[in-house]
Structure 1
Amino acid sequence: MEELKRCPFCGSIPTLYHDGLHQVDSKRKYHTTWMILCERCHNASMSNSAYYSFDEDGVLSPYDEKDGRKEIISRWNSRYKED
């Protein structure tokens, strides 16, 4: 998994959150919203929604091949410019 880069505004290490898994229907489909926030400057935040499901073995995976966690990390990291 790709690591979060530093905040593009203050250089701090941000935090990745999600708001829990919320069941959408009886087919084991769940929704969550991923959020990235810089706790130091509070200026750099973004969110991304995604759906997940549990397979027969109880493993959680993206419902529609869209992994919200990976997408938000990629979007966040594209904002940071190395010196």
Structure 2
Amino acid sequence: MTDFNFASDYMHVIRKAYRLTLAEMGEALGISTAYVHAIEQKREPLTENVRKALIEVFELTPQKLKQIERDYRRYTFKGR
């Protein structure tokens, strides 16, 4: 497992990139739906345990995370 730091902002990006619901993301990481939502809304911090779970479950590397973010930004509808 590669160990690197990233912010809670990526929780939402990773979830959307994998097309997961809040419940599915929580199940994958072993945390509650409410906790996933709270992290995404910056009401709770991204703990070290959750960060490590994200890296392990999604086999993240710094390069893969950059690509996920790039694709998410590129293909997300900007208008509202």
TM-score range, shorter chain: under 0.3
Rg comparison, structure with higher value: 1
TM-score w.r.t. length of structure 1? 0.27
Greater RCO structure (CA 8 Å; 6+ sep) = 2
Structure with greater strand share of residues? 1
TM-score by length of 2: 0.27
Which is helix-richer, 1 or 2?
2
